[in-house]
Structure 1
Amino acid sequence: MDNYYPPVSFYFRVEFGISKDTNDARFQSVSGLTVEYDMESFKEGGENRFEHKLPVRTKYSDLVLKRGLLTDSAVVDWCFKAFRNREFEPTDVTVKLLNENGDPLKSWKVVRAWPKKWSISDFNATANEVVVETLELSYRYFEEIKPSPPKA
């Protein structure tokens, strides 16, 4: 058996159910694939050394996506449709961690995402930097997608 080496985090793709444009799949960072329990504390009478903590429900962080500003994007149009017209059309988003050949190593399906926030970086005449847009999405939950077995 070969020694395992963890995958690198810089080769990934983000696919939106609302766009097939390859530019809409390119981001410089993804964060927020996080799940945790809300906890409820229970204090037992006469026990002063600790309190019981019980899991109540799971909660998911917002998904934060950053990329260089696109001048034409179906994803940004989708965001502003929600912000301007209050027309929310939740969509599934798939985050794929890729190997050196561009094949998915791991994938996560983010279910029923909708835009919560959109922003762009500051403009600064003294800096030579790319304008970065940030999309913050709320969603119901995410799940891992098992990769398809290799074709023989």
Structure 2
Amino acid sequence: MSDLDPGSSVFFTLTIDGEDLGAFNGCEGLGSTVEIEERQAGGQNDFVWKLPTRITYSSIRLTRPLTSDTARVAAWISSISEGIVRPTAQISALRADGSLVARWGLLDVLPVSWQGPSLDPANAAVATETLEIAHHGFTDVEGE
């Protein structure tokens, strides 16, 4: 058992249909919302029925310093011009020692946007990239 603080030493990996797109140091947007419709029943004045209507899934944004893995991300995004294929994906949260914290399977993944680094020699900041992906829901992760 590691004594590392899992909140401060986690990184994320992204695979699309088994192809590794590399490690990311930031991941936000893993979530869903159930839309609720309210129905009032005649003669029942002490409550209102709350019925689920649909589930929506937020886009996920992954960020990292610029690496050689950027070429694989660019190839995946470019493949959209050849026709839309909605693969499955996995995002894994890993500790610094490589042990698994959590894993999410995603259905029907589609790249929404990619933001490359600002390359300014006057700015000494780390060159970063951001990949935003959309999906149609969570799925069981194989091998778990």
- The answer to whether the superposition gives a TM-score over 0.5 is yes
CA contact (8 A) 2:10 2:25 kept: no
Q: Secondary structure at the match of 1:79?
A: helix
Q: Superposition pairs for residues 50-89 of structure 1, below 5 Å?
A: 53-70=50-67, 73-82=71-80, 85=81, 87-89=83-85
Query: 1:20 Cα deviation (Å)?
Result: 4.3
| Equivalent of 1:35 in 17, 32, 35 | 32
CA contact (8 A) 1:12 1:95 kept: no
Letter in 2 for 1:120: G
Give the TM-score, by structure 1 length: 0.70
Q: Secondary structure at the match of 2:88?
A: strand
CA-based RMSD: 3.3
Is residue 118 of structure 1 aligned with residue 114 of structure 2? yes
Structure 2: gaps spanning 5 or more residues: none
Q: How many residue pairs end up in the alignment?
A: 140
Q: Give per-residue Cα distances to partners, 1:45-67, cap 9 Å, x unaligned.
A: 8x9xx965432111110111112
Relative to 1, partners in 2 of residues 1:135 and 1:55: Cα closer, same or farther, differing over 3 Å?
Answer: same
Query: 1:44 Cα deviation (Å)?
Result: 6.9
Q: Secondary structure at the match of 1:67?
A: strand
Segments ≥4 residues shifted beyond 6 Å: none
